[in-house]
Structure 1
Amino acid sequence: MTDTLTPVLTEPWGVDRSWTREVYESRGGYRALDTAFAMSQDDVIAAVKDSGLRGRGGAGFPTGMKWSFIPQDASTEAGRNPKYLVVNADESEPGTCKDIPLMMANPHVLVEGVIIASYAIRAHKAFIYIRGEVVHVIRRVQNAVREAYEAGHLGTDIHGSGYDLDVVVHAGAGAYICGEETALLEGLEGRRGQPRLRPPFPAVAGLYASPTVINNVESIASVPSIVGNGAEWFSSMGTEKSKGMGIFSLSGHVKRPGQYEAPLGITLRQLVELAGGMRDGHELKFWTPGGSSTPLLTAEHVDLPLDFEGMAGAGTMLGTRALQLFDETTCVVRAVLRWTEFYKHESCGKCTPCREGTWWLVQNLARLEKGQGSEEDLDLLLDQCDNILGRSFCALGDGATSPISSSIKHFREEYLAHLTHGGCPFDPARSTAWASSQQEVTA
């Protein structure tokens, strides 16, 4: 089973002082830069395209194709404008915890990826946007950037190639909405983090109205290994349409939660075995494949391939591969309520469906969780979700509806049990029906 793991990005995590430039270089770090500089920019983009690398931030859009959208024709205004690379390190999806440990344990692989990606799209300025609350991560990446400048990996005439690049590490103000790429750009420019209307898309008019590529940390960190080992090496892992390896974050009721780097297409059953199984005496009840904004699945889905197509076929999304596992002791209704409260709190308020809709979702879920209302309220919840889905300004509203609609689909009887018990059947102290029965016994 251990052969299932393919440690590439996570391979040096256990090495002493793995975050330093000396350790990174001793293990072959920054050698891919010279390989990239020996290629034309278009050839680097083609290599990433051929590798089949798809965005590791949730959407799964082909990375090389995204880079190729940047206009380079100097006869157009967009082509004459400076190009920018922005790394989205505003990791804040509930359950997602892969980018932060990657930046802590191996920040130089991100820096090297930034250099190669910037070279490929002909950018001379790059930004790494990190969530403001994780100060220790910000300092770790800032130090890695400083070390790269000192070694000549950043700055002017990098490795004698004639290519110049400056990298800025930017601390966000701490807002979930800034994980949405255009809201991130607003925050980077010093404004309130709210999504922009598209078109124009960032590839044409992004940061400072110039062509901009925005990629996730893991996407950019995967680039040095692709350039160094070749596109065929990367595409040999994974499935036909979901190539390469990825970091799967397992949390919840497993014996060994953590990060497991494996080829896309691995199953949850295999990952749970690698994690030592569910905690003793308990069984899997439900789980999320890509964080709380993806429709949840049940124990019946443990053998589905964890790739983009396999999850889409099950009516959900691979997302950020944040696998939250819950056993039979967990109340689905309460878990969904907690997630929905998060989305209500993090809504930027720009559009009515999300601003008002998430508030009403919380009100109705809270009543149901307390055992108040009727079965008709479930249909009302689904109707509210239908009025938010596809109508909000960005994907936050859509994500807020996913756990609700999927949980009612798979666990409708559990919602009804709350109404029958007058509260949560998993928590007798909060169930009016249970309390009444106890009073009768006492009497």
Structure 2
Amino acid sequence: MELYRRLSYPSLFALLPALLLWEPSAFSASSKTVIADSQYVMADGDTLAGAEEKVLQRAQRKAVEEAGVYLESTFHDVEKESGGRSTQVSSLEIRTIAAAITETEILESSRSFERDRPVFFIRIRATVDIDSLTDAIRRLQSEQQLAQHFRQLQRENHQLRSQLKELQHQPIGVRMLAINPNGKSASHQQARTVLETALHTSNLRDKIQLSTDATTLDDHYVDPLIVRGQTYLQLVSLAFSQQAQSSEYKDYLNKAKTDFERAIALDAKNVWAWIGKGDVLVWLKQPDEAAAAYEQVLELDPFADIARQHLISLSTTKARHQADSKQWHPALATLQKLLNAPTHESWIPYHKEAYALRSKIYLKLNQPEQALADLSIVIQVDPTNVAALTARAKLYRKQLQGELAKEDLERACALGSIQACKQLP
């Protein structure tokens, strides 16, 4: 029986408006030095290095908070007990904390035991860069509306099937607009108002028309192009889900491509424009070009999780096709580029399929030690992965590590693997 315990530290309500109004004249410097301490109880699944990293992260977060930068976020600890062992996963839902710490000095570090479990304590002196955090928050706020709209489009999928047929038979007309000639500022405000209406409508026909109106009001306004492009892609997805021929949604795909390319031409640093371009290229079955677009997103914003998830999927699929064609070295190179990229350990679960695939390729290339390491990562992420358990047991047997092989086979057998049960003595 497995037991889960979630410990949620209370939300710290944001003083973001005040933070964004800070001016250099109000402070003698843009950084602040703070002394903070924290402790962490090591779980069974932790390594010493992992536990030390977690206690340091907690202390750094506390330093940012004590510097007066309060963020609306929740810090979760999830502890899982299974078979008498416990594992603990921590996640900080706002990743901009790291941007605020420019220097960390460890003043004190110690270990003790509490109920037979190691407890790590640390005291640090941290330099908090207020300006860096302010910039990160401002960027997140500016993109929040588009991110919310992207998620809204995903939720609307099941409501829009009937609208697709209507759109196929009723081409979108042209609406005449009365444009205020008093200058760009007034027309831009009008465009923002129209786009706000588009963001809150669930009718795709109206959403596209309103986005078009906003673009007409201000042809240098990027957001309407992105919203319209995302909506066209939603229509493509709906048509595909109804098993339509590609020719039936080709027009929507071309319109989406045009919108995202125009958006990039207006603002080459807009991550949502690059994400949209990558999505279009995926539909056009141009995976290398799509991967390049997602990589561009991550260069602009390393915390753009959507782009990273898409890049993981693209790279893993490409490597699988290469492996199916017995192109072992190209497949390995594809996975090395993905898995060797500098990412936080919280992304390891998303790489599970890539690690499993690389272990098979290592075996084909007669590199059992590397395969064993990858299988161990897969099992650490997914302890119920029968295929990984049986594959690792086979490797342990070849290395004459019978006891370890027996443990893996017993676990796989308990999970219902008849093949593993037959191999037990």
On whether the aligned pair clears a TM of 0.5, the verdict is no
Point out the structure with the larger helix share. 2
Larger Rg: 2
Q: With structure 1 as the length reference, what TM-score do the two structures score? A: 0.22
Work out which structure has the larger RCO, using CA pairs closer than 8 Å and 6 or more positions apart in sequence. 1
Q: With structure 2 as the length reference, what TM-score do the two structures score? A: 0.23
